[in-house]
Structure 1
């Protein structure tokens, strides 16, 4: 079985038919509410749609899932069908043993088995698919038995905890300055550095740590949102995320002044050259872009032309796909409204940021010496900066509550305070709100790490971002002198 995805933007370029025009097809897709990314399942030989599975794709589209999720669901169904085809079966005629065989293949026998979390997502898609087919009368019953309380019997039984990984102060500065910034451990310029935009990586890490946001939230931030827009006062920034947030849950995001200053440095020294080089290419693509003509900073709205129609959007309601094609008329021509840009002039995607991080890790390991902080066995992730934010803030707020009391007394007082309902001053709930967790239960998992942090500061994140405090070279020099018996 073959798999395709709805991509309405490609119709005008490639649809060539005397029967129906591309414009009519695009209009029909919009009227029927068929979203981009909706999976379309085709017979391999005839390339004709498979009606029950295409109906499932249509059902997913009406559930208003985002494009990435729609594609993930479609790929999960195709992987299942490919395995079943090797067994002489297919999705519509599978029995329980076929699904058990697929589970064992994915989790045990394939070249790179997947873990419990990844299998949990796949088993959910299977359960959702067969529930849909039974509800629509395509099948009389599910191929797999239903466990107690209606649970999916093929789902992983063990619930894995969060993989919380955080950085110390020295580790963060080494990651930012040496890995992303291209410096040597002694703060000198690395002549072998081949990174194209070190200030972009440094600004990204400072914003990620300083705001505690998820990757899709900080990497898609717009210039007006972070305060780097004509007429705005500068300093710390506060804006609302919604369309780029997990589950679309809106919440305020605070970016400290030092992190904004790091982004401002990128805008002053590196961004203009990237924008200038890409301006001509963006002019040629203007027809496919959202060209903004008016930015209402106070109202948080932008107004411009997209597909020949004047459109207006609330900035917080703009999803990553829309943000990526949003441009305005700048000094050199069209330029992206997003803070971060790459060689093509538009916002870097997930693969680009992954590449920046991987190359940073390679530099960090190659340059490691006796002054280098202990590196973990596994490569760091951007999400580790969010974990670091959560732990630093939680530890700081708990220390404020503890005061100078002995640890045991402090813990008793702290928990009495929790039980008396002082929710406003509860460190755990404050951090939970800042991180945008759907439930405080998720934040509870950070508690086991709050006593493990090495560095204590007068205030949370003091000296972490920006360049007012010690550079990594000074930190390394101090550590080396201490190892050699110096003062």
Structure 2
């Protein structure tokens, strides 16, 4: 686990704590656990009606991975048997029935599937939001508007500019929640030119922690909302910083690292050491948790480099954004229930809240980004392929890639299959013209403008002077 992210360590530690508590209740030592104990644990976590804290299959799949990791480590050291059913992906066919238990005491899986892994763990709820739906969710859930488009009386949006800038960034950049939540102020391309400004995403903040970071694009409209949130006069970020400085919160933080400078060319921070000297440190090696302790000294006192701050002025942790989405969904569901002209019982009100069609999760905004750029890339790529033979198309794809390859780069996926199979599979069989019809007029005009710009920049598409 030494190379795992802090988030993974915490999640695995939680899984182990629940597992060990389960064994303790039944008087079983951790090194005495059997496959039957794991099966009973699975039943309790997923289906036992006596458990009021049952989880989904995807959550238990993480528990299973944590237990397998632990027992695989403990086996050779403590001479214990791994009770977690783990089988290779491909199992040779056999004439024995699938229910026959093998010599290891583990029933073989059909089609190479781990028998302990929940069937639902492979499913992904992939949903998209068009801009009109996203803006309605944002305005009602985070900006205090009602379904009538008017501000609700009594709305007090303490962190409204921060939350709006954050969700606009997720929708406009396609970054993962952890990636966008971990950016520092020195990493934002303020002062750049163009509609889509290029920024660097540090390697330690990317899922899987690759060896190198990557570039991503920030729409100018998104950067403007972030700049408003960070405005030294009217933005709420400066307000919470000053409040924290007056309360002395930053001075009491343990493990604070003072940043004395930043080199944009080498993407290195200069960190003050205990002796007072400054040493360079690459942004690519600074993970999300370590970034929470980066501060600079100003005339008013310490100031965080983290962009996103909580109401107390401390850097906002990644998990806190899940609460922001949940609270926004709850507000919208309550308003939806209030639209009923009839007096509702508690059961009827809860049923109506569950029927509300306006809701969002953080990853849905990344899916929406993928859909928009799939349309754009398809419009750029497909019209210029007419008349090519299959062999010529293959040669073009080998040299320049295809839509899925380009989209995987935008999303930061290691392989195009991930993009195709898990993000846009329901749309791959539909015609681009039909997909374009799903977008509103503003998005269609933006797409057409981007296509014209992209085609003109290639220098290989010729048109008559009148057509230009």
Bin of the TM-score, shorter chain as denominator length: 0.7 to 0.9
Q: 1:245-270 CA distances to partner (integer Å, 9 max, x unpaired)? A: 10012221211211111111111222
CA deviation after TM superposition for structure 1 residue 111, in Å: 2.1
Aligned pairs for 1:156-305 (under 5 A) are 156=118, 160-185=122-147, 188-228=150-190, 232-233=191-192, 236-249=197-210, 250-268=213-231, 269-270=234-235, 271-280=237-246, 281-285=248-252, 288-305=255-272
- 2:411 is the alignment partner of 1:435: yes
| Superposed CA offset, 1:316-359 (max 9, x none) | 32111121111113463322112222222232113432232223
Q: 1:288, 1:307 within 8 Å by CA — same for their partners in 2? A: no
Separation in 1, partners of 2:114, 2:148: 55
CA distance in 2 between partners of 1:78 and 1:461 (Å): 54
Q: 1:257 to 1:396 in 2, by over 3 A?
A: same
Q: After superposition, where does 1:88-167 map in structure 2 within 5 Å?
A: 88-109=27-48, 110-139=51-80, 141-143=81-83, 147=87, 152-156=114-118, 160-167=122-129
Q: Does 1:347 align with 2:315?
A: yes
Deviation at 1:167, TM superposition (A): 0.5
1: CA distance between counterparts of 2:167 and 2:391? 34
CA contact (8 A) 2:61 2:121 kept: no
Change (3 A) 1:103 1:299: same
Query: Structure 1 residues 90 and 185, CA, compared in 2 at 3 Å: closer, same or farther?
Result: same
For the Cα contact (< 8 Å) 1:326–1:336, is it kept in 2? yes
Distance 1:394 1:106, change over 3 A: same
CA contact (8 A) 2:332 2:359 kept: no
Call closer, same or farther: CA 1:354–1:126 in 2, change over 3 Å.
closer
Aligned-residue offset at 1:132: 2.2
Distance across 2 between alignment mates of 1:190 and 1:365 = 15
TM-score by length of 2: 0.74
The aligned counterpart of 1:401 is 381
Whole-Å separation in 1 of the counterparts to 2:139 and 2:390: 38
Map 1:9-88 → 2, pairs under 5 A: 60-61=1-2, 64-88=3-27
**Which residues in structure 2 correspond to 1:317-336 (within 5 Å)?**
317-330=285-298, 332-336=300-304
CA contact (8 A) 2:142 2:328 kept: yes
Structure-2 change in CA distance of 1:330 and 1:84 (3 Å): same
Closer, same or farther in 2 for the Cα pair 1:395/1:416, shift >3 Å? farther
SS of the equivalent of 1:399 reads helix
Indicate if the aligned counterparts of 2:137 and 2:358 stay in contact, CA closer than 8 A: no
**Gap regions ≥5 residues in structure 2:** 92-112, 341-353, 451-468
Equivalent-residue separation in structure 2 for 1:130 and 1:194 (angstroms): 50
Cα contact 2:332–2:358 (8 A) shared by 1: no
Cα distance in 2 for residues equivalent to 1:386 and 1:247: 17
Give the CA deviation at 1:447: 3.2
Given that 1:171 and 1:375 are in contact with CA atoms closer than 8 Å, whether structure 2 keeps it comes out as: no
Structure 2 counterpart SS, 1:201: helix
Q: How does 1:466-485 map to 2 (within 5 A)?
A: none
- Pick from 421, 439, 453 the counterpart of residue 455 of structure 1: 439
Q: Normalised by the size of structure 1, how large is the TM-score?
A: 0.71
- Cα distance change, pair 247–376 in 1 and its aligned pair in 2 (3 A): farther
**1:402 CA drift (Å):** 3.3
Q: Distance in 1 between matches of 2:298 and 2:370?
A: 37
How far apart in 2 are the matches of 1:345 and 1:461? 42
The answer on whether the counterparts of 1:418 and 1:426 sit within 8 Å (CA) in structure 2 is no
Secondary structure of the corresponding residue to residue 347 of structure 1 = coil
